[in-house]
Amino acid sequence: MTAENIFEVEHVTLRFGGVVSLNDVSLFQKRGEILAVIGPNGAGKTSLFNSLTGVYQPQEGTIVFHRADGRSMSVIGKKPHRVAGAGVARTFQASRMFSALSTFDNVKIGAEDHRGFGVVGAMLRGPRTRHDDRRSDERTAELLRFVGLAERANVLAASLSYGERRRLEIARGLATGPEVLLLDEPAAGTNPAEKLDLARLIRRVRDELGVTILLIEHDMKLVMSLAERLYVLNFGSVIAEGTPAEIRANPVVIEAYLGTSTEASA
Ligand SMILES: Nc1ncnc2c1ncn2[C@@H]1O[C@H](COP(=O)(O)OP(=O)(O)O)[C@@H](O)[C@H]1O
Ligand SMILES: [Mg+2]
């Protein structure tokens, strides 16, 4: 039996000294859903992602990741590579590609990374079988085609445009074969045309690959067109939950966030 929810977060509190980054946060995500987390700068969005991926260890609460095979993982206390290995992939707010490697090699390292050897291990490991190597080459080429970067496979990642870098990061996230992909501001730094392309790509990741999407995004037009449901964070607390229409009409959200400027913070 497949659990309907892929993530269940209950009463999570995360503190750094006197700073409360997440304050009694409870939320859930359904399998297959495109869910967004919005809120002003410093609201705790990235802290939530870090908590969901084992990077931060909240002092209170529980986070459960339910896999499609029916097994569940309690995330708090697990190391990031274990959470990733269980099927949770992510991209970062600031680009983390290897500029001096080709587009192809950046994705190929992502594909090898999930075997648990880590990035350095993947590069330093001794000779693998030709079969292994051909399989990850094929997988990499397939992912580059999927994200629209097949033509750019052999250029250095440093020479990609912002929009192309964002696609590369999505391909790297997908290379681990995840059940859920967490995207931290996937359209940051891109122009309006690139934003539209990214929105289309993210929807295809869900529709064609069946990967659940959790998204942090500042661009209101993008997030409202893409997300099926949203949570709003403010000062570490969930202040609202609902469909895009419900969130737009929510007086608490308008006062805390949307009211000031729809483009809000960068
Ligand atoms: N590693 C950390 N050490 C100390 N404070 C942190 C750390 N990570 C996040 N915070 C604090 O947690 C709060 C929420 O930050 P963050 O999750 O990055 O917000 P957002 O992504 O919504 O902009 C901020 O006050 C930030 O300074
Ligand atoms: Mg952030």
The residue written with tokens 């500042």 in the block is 218
> Is the CB of 46 inside a 6 Å radius of any atom of ligand 1?
yes
Quick one: pLDDT at residue 177? 92
Nearest CA to ligand 1 atom 16: 44
The residue written with tokens 């997908």 in the block is 174
What is the tens place of the pLDDT at every residue in 154-167? 999 999 999 999 99
The residue written with tokens 């006197």 in the block is 18
Quick one: pLDDT at residue 110? 77
Quick one: pLDDT at residue 135? 84
State the closest ligand 1 atom to the C-alpha of 41, by its place in the atom list counted from 1: 23
- Per DSSP, the residues of 240-263 read EEE-HHHHHH-HHHIIIIITT-TT
In the reported structure, the alpha carbon of residue 57 is separated from the centroid of ligand 1 by a whole-number distance in angstroms of 13
Q: What are the residues whose beta carbons fall under 8 Å from the beta carbon of 242, sequence distance 6 or more?
A: 229, 230, 250
Burial status of residue 178 (CB atoms within 10 A of its CB: 0-12, 13-18, 19 or more) = buried
Per-residue confidence of the chain (266 residues) as pLDDT tens digits? Answer: 456 999 999 999 999 999 999 999 999 999 999 999 999 999 999 999 999 999 999 999 999 999 999 999 999 999 999 999 999 999 987 778 899 999 999 999 877 755 444 444 455 555 566 777 788 899 999 999 999 999 999 999 999 999 999 999 999 999 989 999 999 999 988 999 999 999 999 999 999 999 999 999 988 899 999 999 999 999 999 999 999 999 999 998 888 877 654 444 44
Do residues 121 and 208 touch, judged by C-beta distance below 8 A? Answer: no
Nearest CA to ligand 1 atom 1: 16
| pTM value surpassing 0.85 | yes
> Is the CB of 44 inside a 6 Å radius of any atom of ligand 1?
yes
Quick one: pLDDT at residue 254? 87
Nearest CA to ligand 1 atom 9: 47
Quick one: pLDDT at residue 233? 96
> Is the CB of 39 inside a 6 Å radius of any atom of ligand 1?
yes
